A = this chain, B = another copy of it.
């Protein structure tokens, strides 16, 4: 039986969705973020030294890292679903988005989050306005233009394609879902109708809905 070590409000929601798409039997082991620090609990480190979610156990195999888990599950249990045929044009798109999601799209979104966090941190009153100014300027000059470039790019692609890699859902859609639905939920994608429609499209899938039920609270969705 596959065990998903699941942290609430995390990338492991993707794996839950994938397990539901493949209609695999699985068990959820739950970990709750610390309500103050929002960090994963130390107990996750007993499963994997990095203490990050998602992690799956599948018999002797322990796998971490969203992209690697999606690849593993797709190859082992996909039976032709969720991964296009190796060597095809769809496969090239698949592998591209699989790496693009965390390698290129997430970094500017992460930077934005970190600088937003600095603005909301409790700081001495005489430092606070300066901190806010530094955060705002860095976001404006350096981070926001990068996010715009990426969103313009994905928006254009989704104006011409229903799914990320070919005519049906693949692991690449699952891998891309996290940054895109987080952005839609936070209003970052308000001026991107194709991205918004795409997120709605995959969120309406029965397997996605079952994953949401199974996972419990999920703020990004």
**Which of B49, B92, B107, B152 makes the CB contact (< 8 A) with A61?**
B92
A209 interfacial contact with B, CB 8 Å: no
Residue of B whose beta carbon sits closest to that of A149: B50
Q: Evaluate contact between B49 and A153: CB separation under 8 angstroms.
A: yes
Q: Give chain B residues whose Cβ lies under 8 Å from the Cβ of A156.
A: 49
A218 interfacial contact with B, CB 8 Å: no
A106 interfacial contact with B, CB 8 Å: yes
Q: For the complex, what is the distance from the CA of A95 to the CA of B152, rounded to whole Å?
A: 29
Q: Interface residues of A: mostly helix, strand, loop or mixed?
A: helix
Q: Give chain B residues whose Cβ lies under 8 Å from the Cβ of A64.
A: 96, 100
Q: Evaluate contact between B134 and A104: CB separation under 8 angstroms.
A: no
**Identical copies in the complex:** 2
Contact with B along A43-63 (1 / 0, CB 8 A): 000000111100000000101
Q: For the complex, what is the distance from the CA of A63 to the CA of B138, rounded to whole Å?
A: 30
Q: Evaluate contact between B66 and A103: CB separation under 8 angstroms.
A: yes
Q: Evaluate contact between B50 and A68: CB separation under 8 angstroms.
A: no
Within 8 A of B (CB), among A102-122: 102-104, 106-107, 110-111, 114, 118
Q: Which of A17-25, A71-79, A197-205 contacts B (4 or more CB under 8 A)?
A: A71-79
**Which of B68, B96, B103, B149 makes the CB contact (< 8 A) with A95?**
B68
Give residues in A with beta carbon < 8 Å to B. 49-52, 61, 63-68, 71-72, 75-76, 86-87, 92, 95-96, 98-100, 102-104, 106-107, 110-111, 114, 118, 127, 130-131, 133-134, 138, 142, 149-150, 152-153, 156
